[in-house]
Structure 1
């Protein structure tokens, strides 16, 4: 009776939350409507505010730096651009988030000085400044420097007189309009001699609006973007764009610069740069992805912070700005998922100035890969714009007979962009086709000695004429943010993702016979359909209670996932692994499976980041999840079941900062992950299996402590973490029969991780990591306690560094060098075989000047034979690493 009441209460709560979310969506639509009216129907007075004569020359005395801002975290200026207009110039200072800046303007002689408190330049700009000279006949120079630790100064120098400088603040940062003043006008506006006037109040909201450029203006972009690997902020740790130093968990961000320098074309290949992360059971060069993080397999892949279960089937990084890796449980923010960690893909957005890029890559194994990246406002005076990424790739493989191709299209549109509201919508279309796909290789003959010899890593033990696939992935999403004021904002985000695998036929190895050369195989035909919908709404607010500052996050997330999976298992002739002869035909049908799975969940989450002082931050969070799971076996109705689960996932973290650039942290967090299936109990009296209750969710618990530091004037970031993870409710065999299934298994992982990233000297970037991972079985009825978990190396390390010449005739020429190491790993839970350790060396040569870039990448420079993982807890599915692979790439921006 109690179970029925609990289930009824859960269903009622889900319905109430759905209705509440619909109401919230109506409010959001109201915001969109009012904001759109604001964009398309501006008042004439909003388009142009004429400055008064007193505003043109405010001070005659040398300026003094403004008082520091009370804002706790300095705003990061990540890019500087200057644009030509019919009236003069526009200077864009792009920030890392939608932070509110409070600049002040001063004038001395022929110079106008704008000081921006509580701001910092990123990368090389912080050391060498940003300067452009002889921009127009009336403007001699513009310079952007780091005046002190938290103040950025912009100096605009006129040829004979000071120009007019006004500004606006929008979603991308600070936009300054620089308008030359001719001599006659300057004389007419010259103020009488009088005592100096105080600079305008930085807190005033009366900043003039920049006059819009002429529709016929020619826009010339001079970019101050610096190539750097260090990223200071991430949303994956708190959903609030918090400085990584202030998050009590280990986070690593891989920016697009690393992906470009290493010539990476797949999400799996990014894993080699992150401590404690590997690809395990799936080849790293595949579009399909599954990571092993801190010893545990995970499919937690987010797209712009929203869960996307289609990413495991095919994922493109062609429109990705950066990849964020959160190690450890993330259920407190993102709901159900594996305890090992979470990967978040942050995609590119439209740029505020026109930028067009053409790219072509080619290389070994018949690789050719053209791509475009176009972005522009819809008109010279419009804040709205688009971005369009398109890629086509066709490639063979080092494995015999393998070929694949994919087409990727990704349009993105800014629909609203005002001071208070921003709305971006995007679409992704990915079609992937393959033929002749080779299965994995047996352990015997690769990582284990075989009396018949050693297998060639290029051999294809499948059926090349029968293996083929065709799949289409479509994703649609929008991201809406509205600021009520400087302290409160609301976000509403939606993602719909669909995977349609119309054809998926391939060979799976089953068993290597006693002669150690005859492989038994089956063919699987596995068409499938998957759709998932995610709607997330949260409110973020900053306020104070007494002397304590709070950043509050409260939100609701709705998620629906539907999957249809059909599998035909067909017999096929055996094959000699040392002398393969292909049969070219399948035999009899062995088994058919046809299932549907429905999953609906509602999550309510709350988080408070409490700053007791500049040195102490407490992070408290919790999330309630209500999950309905239905499973249908369309061929065996007795297997059908439905379940309702509730879970609470807390997080408690504390950050102590003895200095502004150093933080010590400790945290406790939990996770949960629903398990599809039911208990199978053995009835010894009747010698049969009895189906029991649906499985409970797996639970995870993590304890973590660490230290983070930004060193050498914040050019280099270091993170050291120690952790212990415990996984419970693992499915294993029952104590009385190998055919029974129960949830009594437990596993544990503990280890140490070190990450170092940044710019050591101008042009010299470094990305290094080390991980010690001890992942083992701690309780199980089937496997020996103390056995290591598969695909989890005890030691793993990586080093990638590049140097680019900064001046002279060879300016823009660069070199890259990388080392990637993994120690010995076990291949299955029985620990029956091991994958040997390996050290792989990569290198790169590149040249970039102005808008042109060319690069040459060599992966596995010394052609080392190595193995990246094993699959499905068997000794006949070992994943082989690629041999020496050479590829080149050229790109041109215009």
Structure 2
């Protein structure tokens, strides 16, 4: 099939719905009974949290069809190259047509690999590393950039900076996770430099009734249960609901860190004809840790009872394995969020060549960060000094995005796809932020004390932030076929960001106000060329913008600075060969971020926008069906990231140093074999990450690591029983850092899990 296939409307075919996929025969009475039970359970679970209502941004009217096609073709399209990737463009381009690196992780992939949470799923992205820093759950590093330099979306909608809105949720409700590498501000606005990750929720469809679910139990007293179903009500209406629940003493085997994740989602599809489709969605998520894990603090080697050798530094500090499970947070601490998202999406075909899409979204989140963020060893006393914070967020976002799409032949032979639209969002954010210091504790016998109340007299800082952001943008994209095998894609976006910030100092009864305005412009130009119908070469140049710090909590001093500006170039290829049994994506890239904050080299007391960070690298992803029974996957990434210009307080020159939490090499691989005479599949998984620095001075270096997982699956007619083993060698390793440079997040120890999934 040619890559750049014509719009069916241009060939006189007015059906945009693919043929239905024939399902397995089931007992209809049982299906009806289970379905109605599932829907009732979801709605009841949702109703208990009615005051939170929740989310699901909507997709185009073709989305249910695309999901079905992806499932139908997954055996011969393992990297989803022939499927439309909604994150890479709003033009309905397939992954092959997109002049950028895109990756899709399906729900089937998540289940086969035993990926339970957002953090675990992000870690399966080629070249990505992920940390669960309490203030930034599932914080992502891609292509040398971390945190808010990467955008996380839900159903294509950005509701805020990723370090605020991303939570380490259960992934049951997601149909797939789409990843766009490199700058994407032209699509999603400020903050999208390293890449964008789109969490695509499951949607109802009119095709057939389904019920599916899982039940798992594993190490650390982990229980995971989920159920979901799709119910066509008639020829025009369908409803889908999903409920998930995960509870564990601690996914990291940390003392006093009981973890709970609950999710409920309901969506209704109304499709009266082939031209009109509406999707109404509501999602609610609750996640909570009774006491967060802030990493294992370094201690002096002379103090350590069982010193490890995973951290190199000139100060003789080590991670003591004896403290591996210790938690130094005060009792009654809490890390939690209740998140609700409501959305209404409309897709309407105005004519054979014109379409209209509108998506309205409401988002609300209540978050609590009651914890001791910094825990540093005092060599004089042999104790851990501790800070404390009792921060919370009240976060509301209203947004609406509309776009018109046009698809036609110019001069009867040049296909042109155009999308133009506008987006508006209003954000209201408030955050009380008391901070102070707690009593120091013994590393081995900590008396952690109680979390102070909001009226504690010991707070040394107590500010209340209030932020309102009005964000208006216009955007356009175009894809023009110069020939049937040569496609040029371009886009541009203009934004206006009006920020109103108020900082009330509760201790001094004073107030600061400032109202910065930003007017960024982003653009991209790229091209894809068909060497063969199944192999493409592509190139792209793009720009992006990112704030010097999050606009939600930007300080008075930083409010006067402009946005930092990034630019990127990328070359790559995509190929599906051997009758679709081998898919490959390869790329080389360069990203430059200018105007980051630095000290003036001529006056180190003055902060200016003269810093620069650059990364260049290469990535390769492959998936192969070596035989009908043997499948293999491979992801390789190399990045060379450094600060080209950076001077910090005191005049310390960090130019030439490596950014924190950026390993130079990351690799993941998997191999699965299905026995020919038994319904058993044996799988093995490996992940490697080289070392990384935890500070911009590059004095603390965490060594690289390799972990191995495995699974054994037994398939029945409608059920699969799976036994997973994670970190089989019980590797003791650091996976990320946060807060203090001397707190290292240790990866989860060896664990096992047994589960069953079913689908009718």
Aligned match of 2:397:
532
Contact 1:435 1:464 in 2 (8 A): no
Question: Separation in 1 of the partners of 2:444 and 2:718?
Answer: 51
1:387 paired with 2:319, answer no
Where do 1:234-633 residues align within 5 Å? 234-280=85-131, 282=133, 288-299=137-148, 300-309=151-160, 311-313=165-167, 315-351=169-205, 352-378=207-233, 381-397=234-250, 398-444=253-299, 447-448=310-311, 450=316, 454-456=320-322, 458-501=324-367, 503-515=368-380, 517-546=382-411, 547-584=413-450, 586=452, 588-633=458-503
- Give the counterpart of 2:662 among 777, 787, 792: 792
Question: Separation in 1 of the partners of 2:557 and 2:282?
Answer: 43
Instruction: For residue 532 of structure 1, report the CA deviation from its aligned partner.
Output: 1.7
Alpha-carbon displacement from aligned partner over 1:135-188 (angstroms, at most 9, x marks no partner): 9xxxxxxxxxxxxxxxxxxxxxxxxxxxxxxxxx998559xxxxxxxxxxxxxx
Question: Separation in 1 of the partners of 2:74 and 2:655?
Answer: 51
Instruction: For residue 407 of structure 1, report the CA deviation from its aligned partner.
Output: 1.9
Alpha-carbon displacement from aligned partner over 1:98-133 (angstroms, at most 9, x marks no partner): 9999899xxxxxxxxxxx999999xxx9xxxx9999
Instruction: For residue 493 of structure 1, report the CA deviation from its aligned partner.
Output: 1.0
Instruction: For residue 698 of structure 1, report the CA deviation from its aligned partner.
Output: 1.3
- Give the counterpart of 1:802 among 659, 664, 672: 672
Secondary structure of the 1:861 match is coil
Q: Which runs of 5+ in 2 are unaligned?
A: 28-60, 300-306
Contact 2:419 2:476 in 1 (8 A): yes
Question: Separation in 2 of the partners of 1:891 and 1:693?
Answer: 51
Instruction: For residue 479 of structure 1, report the CA deviation from its aligned partner.
Output: 1.8
Contact 1:388 1:411 in 2 (8 A): yes
- How many aligned positions are there? 685
542-551 or 312-321: bigger deviation: 312-321
- Give the counterpart of 1:704 among 570, 593, 599: 570
Secondary structure of the 1:511 match is strand
Instruction: For residue 433 of structure 1, report the CA deviation from its aligned partner.
Output: 2.6
Secondary structure of the 1:663 match is strand
Where do 1:872-883 residues align within 5 Å? 872=739, 874-883=740-749
Contact 1:316 1:408 in 2 (8 A): yes
Distance 1:877 1:353, change over 3 A: same
Instruction: For residue 780 of structure 1, report the CA deviation from its aligned partner.
Output: 1.5
Question: Separation in 1 of the partners of 2:293 and 2:63?
Answer: 48
Contact 1:840 1:864 in 2 (8 A): yes
Contact 1:230 1:759 in 2 (8 A): no
Contact 1:771 1:796 in 2 (8 A): yes
Secondary structure of the 1:640 match is strand
Instruction: For residue 281 of structure 1, report the CA deviation from its aligned partner.
Output: 6.1
Secondary structure of the 1:792 match is coil
Contact 1:357 1:892 in 2 (8 A): yes
Instruction: For residue 670 of structure 1, report the CA deviation from its aligned partner.
Output: 0.2
Distance 1:540 1:335, change over 3 A: same
Question: Separation in 2 of the partners of 1:705 and 1:826?
Answer: 28
Alpha-carbon displacement from aligned partner over 1:189-226 (angstroms, at most 9, x marks no partner): xxxxxxxxxxxxxxxxxxxxxxxxxxxxxxxxxx9786
Question: Separation in 2 of the partners of 1:448 and 1:758?
Answer: 37
Aligned match of 2:613:
747
Instruction: For residue 760 of structure 1, report the CA deviation from its aligned partner.
Output: 3.3
Distance 1:510 1:369, change over 3 A: closer
Question: Separation in 1 of the partners of 2:65 and 2:608?
Answer: 55
TM (normalized to structure 2)? 0.84
Alpha-carbon displacement from aligned partner over 1:501-548 (angstroms, at most 9, x marks no partner): 2x4311122532234842110121011111222211111111222242
1:816 paired with 2:683, answer yes
Distance 1:281 1:612, change over 3 A: same
Contact 1:854 1:889 in 2 (8 A): yes
Aligned match of 2:513:
640
Alpha-carbon RMSD: 3.3
Distance 1:559 1:764, change over 3 A: farther
Question: Separation in 2 of the partners of 1:531 and 1:861?
Answer: 43
Instruction: For residue 741 of structure 1, report the CA deviation from its aligned partner.
Output: 3.3
Alpha-carbon displacement from aligned partner over 1:646-673 (angstroms, at most 9, x marks no partner): 1111101011212111111111100012
Alpha-carbon displacement from aligned partner over 1:33-58 (angstroms, at most 9, x marks no partner): xxxxxxxxxxxxxxxxxxxxxxxxxx
Contact 1:533 1:559 in 2 (8 A): yes
Contact 2:298 2:317 in 1 (8 A): no
Question: Separation in 2 of the partners of 1:589 and 1:490?
Answer: 53
Distance 1:521 1:706, change over 3 A: same
Secondary structure of the 2:138 match is coil
Alpha-carbon displacement from aligned partner over 1:696-754 (angstroms, at most 9, x marks no partner): 01111001111111111123221111111001121234447766533221100001111
Instruction: For residue 252 of structure 1, report the CA deviation from its aligned partner.
Output: 0.8
Instruction: For residue 368 of structure 1, report the CA deviation from its aligned partner.
Output: 1.1
Contact 1:288 1:315 in 2 (8 A): no
Aligned match of 2:43:
none
Alpha-carbon displacement from aligned partner over 1:544-600 (angstroms, at most 9, x marks no partner): 222421011111111222211111113211122244333446582221121112211
Instruction: For residue 308 of structure 1, report the CA deviation from its aligned partner.
Output: 2.7
Aligned match of 1:728:
594
Q: Which runs of 5+ in 1 are unaligned?
A: 1-67, 76-97, 105-115, 136-168, 175-222, 679-688
Aligned match of 1:73:
5
Contact 1:298 1:338 in 2 (8 A): no
Contact 1:777 1:785 in 2 (8 A): yes
Distance 1:620 1:225, change over 3 A: closer
Secondary structure of the 2:120 match is helix
Contact 1:74 1:119 in 2 (8 A): no
Question: Separation in 1 of the partners of 2:573 and 2:19?
Answer: 23
514-523 or 780-789: bigger deviation: 514-523
TM (normalized to structure 1)? 0.72
Instruction: For residue 401 of structure 1, report the CA deviation from its aligned partner.
Output: 1.6
